[in-house]
């Protein structure tokens, strides 16, 4: 079993917890101030979001091992990881740096279109429940268009469930009965 496949479940669950944290902070303390990160709530929200983005890259790669093609998973993983690193710079500097306006649309496009491509590939392969592939673009919608009002809670719940399913599958694979005759 590869390193990524083995650890993708834990990474997906940790990402789900981080997205949930961002969603709770945004739902309780609505904090939108353009390019500036303001106060503890702003730093917590963006910090949780950045950690979730970086961790979820492994979740995408783990799902990609169950798909017909890994191209969508790779694109989404690159998009989330790069966006996460970019968000870390915003947390550290308390505002978006000048390159954010260029990087953010590109990484979001990789994330969204990679998620859609992965969803199609997962559907065609037929190895995961319908909710897994349908939830991929919904998780992006929760984080980006609905993020400022707590929509990351949707992504958090989704990735916690996906992490559980990936972990459960690993347990089933490790205890599968032997096919050799005794």
Q: Which residue has the tokens 């017909």?
A: 68
**Domain, as residue range, for 156:** 3-169
Q: What's the CA gap between 112 and 133, in Å, rounded?
A: 13
Q: Is residue 141 part of a domain?
A: yes
In this prediction, residue 170 carries a pLDDT of: 60
Q: Is residue 176 part of a domain?
A: no
Mark 54-71 as b/e (b = at least 16 C-beta within 10 Å): bbbbbbbbbbbebbbebe
Number of domains in the chain: 1
In this prediction, residue 36 carries a pLDDT of: 65
Q: Is residue 10 part of a domain?
A: yes
Q: Is residue 180 part of a domain?
A: no
* Per-residue pLDDT tens over the stretch 154-176: 999 999 999 999 888 764 444 44
Q: Is residue 35 part of a domain?
A: yes
Q: Is residue 182 part of a domain?
A: no
Low-confidence stretches of the chain (pLDDT < 50) are 1, 171-178, 181-182
Question: For residues 85 and 99, is the Cβ–Cβ distance under 8 A?
Answer: no
User: What pTM value is reported for the model?
Assistant: 0.87
Q: Is residue 60 part of a domain?
A: yes
Q: Is residue 177 part of a domain?
A: no
- Return the structure tokens found at 61: 């790669």
In this prediction, residue 29 carries a pLDDT of: 83
In this prediction, residue 176 carries a pLDDT of: 46
In this prediction, residue 182 carries a pLDDT of: 45
């Amino acid at each position: 079993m590869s390193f990524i496949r083995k650890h993708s479940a834990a990474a997906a669950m940790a990402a789900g917890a981080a997205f949930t944290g961002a969603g709770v902070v945004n739902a309780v303390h609505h904090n939108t101030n353009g390019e500036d990160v303001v106060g503890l709530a702003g730093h917590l929200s963006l910090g949780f979001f950045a950690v979730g983005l970086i961790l979820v890259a492994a979740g995408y790669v783990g799902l990609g091992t169950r798909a017909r093609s890994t191209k969508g998973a790779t694109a989404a993983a690159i998009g989330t990881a790069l966006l996460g690193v970019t968000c870390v710079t915003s947390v550290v500097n308390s505002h978006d740096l000048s390159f954010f306006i260029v990087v953010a649309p590109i990484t979001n496009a990789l994330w969204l279109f990679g998620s859609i491509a992965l969803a199609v590939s997962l559907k065609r392969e037929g190895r995961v429940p319908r909710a897994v592939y349908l939830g991929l673009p919904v998780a992006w919608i929760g984080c980006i268009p609905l993020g400022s009002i707590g929509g990351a809670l949707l992504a958090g719940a989704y990735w916690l469930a996906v992490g559980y399913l990936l972990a459960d599958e690993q347990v089933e694979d490790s205890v599968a009965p032997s096919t050799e005759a005794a």
